[in-house]
Structure 1
Amino acid sequence: MTRLKGVKVVIADDEKLMALELQALLLELYFDLQIVGVAHDGETALELVETCKPDIAFLDIQMPGMTGLEVAKRLIAGEEPPVVVFATAYDEYALKAFAVNAMDYILKPYDEADIRRVMEKFEKLLAGSSVNPKLNINKESLKPDRIRKFSLEKGDRMKIIDSDKIELIYAKDRLVYIKTLDGEIYRTKLTLQEYEVKLPAEHFFRCHRNYIVNVNQIKEIATWFNKGYILILKQNAAGKGQEIPVGRAYAAKLREYIEL
């Protein structure tokens, strides 16, 4: 018996074969789950969730009528929303997924390792939750936390930095650094991917495989070759605004933060 025994699941995917594949993978790996509904469009998914009251909902982002993102926005406005995991063929939707309090997202075609990763994350959340008479689930505890403060090493001390004091995070020579608004630079043990998840998604933008920037520190945007962009940050303590490239794979996401 696992903590997942009795956990109710709804799956929504407009591709019927993909929905069946996800259902089969979930039950193969976690036989004690309850698949209480499968939908192939956003409206039906919303109705299923409202009727069946699942604990976790796998939502395809791109569905006819109402997208998975729109469904999630409606759900989180309710009193007892399920934990949401998005399914998509494009990882460019990752930031949008976290912006609507999704626990995680998985890429198509579905992979056993990804399924295990999200369900193990779900189990850990259950293990840390307070008691609920039904399933030992505290819904509030399942919403993803965005960390607002970080401890960074400075000599023999740990300095506490508010996330809004971070100008950018960057990778160089296989190491990751945080640069603050006062020009201080700290080496950190976390990866860019981990910061991408932990930082408030509405304020931090992964603009390049080597950079995450505080969008509130962007002063100007310059066009670059091949329809790319350069972000020019506000002047820091040194009196100069740093220029940060926007990778081609990330350029479309920029529009989520700034009207271009």
Structure 2
Amino acid sequence: METLRALIADDEEHLRDYLEGQLKTAWPELKVVAKAANGIDALRLIGEEAPDVVFLDIRMPGMTGLDVAARLVADATPPHIVFVTAFDQYAVEAFEHSAVDYLLKPASLERLDKTVAKLKAALRAKEPAAAGITAATLQALLAQLGGAAQAVAAPATAPAPAPTLQWIRASQGDQTRLISVDEVIYFQSNDKYTSVFLADGESLIRTPISKLREQLDEQKFWQIHRSVIVAAHHVAGTRQDFRGRLMVQLKGREEQLVVSRNYVDLFRQM
């Protein structure tokens, strides 16, 4: 049986690696032969490696995924194209009503399985890779995406809020993990690193607490000390120790976290 080949293009390395890992589970027969960090490199590598399937991030420096796709569909034998996007649900509706397939970052196995099934069916039927995808299709999709972005944009006088952090790339021993922020119990800064405490252990990141505070959803993560941020849904309650310090008690864990005076007001109603 002929080995099928794929290329992944995304300007974020950890998301390239994450999608490759998900594909190994969802489609083990597929071989990722190349990964690109931008659209220009993606085009070059596609020319060199001739993959059967390409996964294209929409937003990349140099050339967007749509720009790359427009070049590919002009060829006589283009690869099958799947777009990968971080756009919100409004923009995803544009994909739902177009002829192209897409994955929403970070791709879940359940959603990836559907894409894999669609690609396998097309490959078995020997359908043209560019069926239904033309330069006009891509231009219409780009216009829809632009309209969706405008529909949810903040007024011109108010800057759009920065997106909250959803995933963390962390070191654990000699391995690197991609961690959802929903798994985090608390963050604690050390000399050179920030520790990320999870139910199954501790990982390390280089991002300082001050930067994390700017990127985390303040409704879900509470800073209780200059060196500690805790996930609100893991807080069981508070108590005072023998020195009069307020201590946060965590659900299902023995350690307790000190609340500094600057953050005591956060717990006044508890």
- With normalisation by structure 2, the TM-score equals 0.47
Larger Rg belongs to: 2
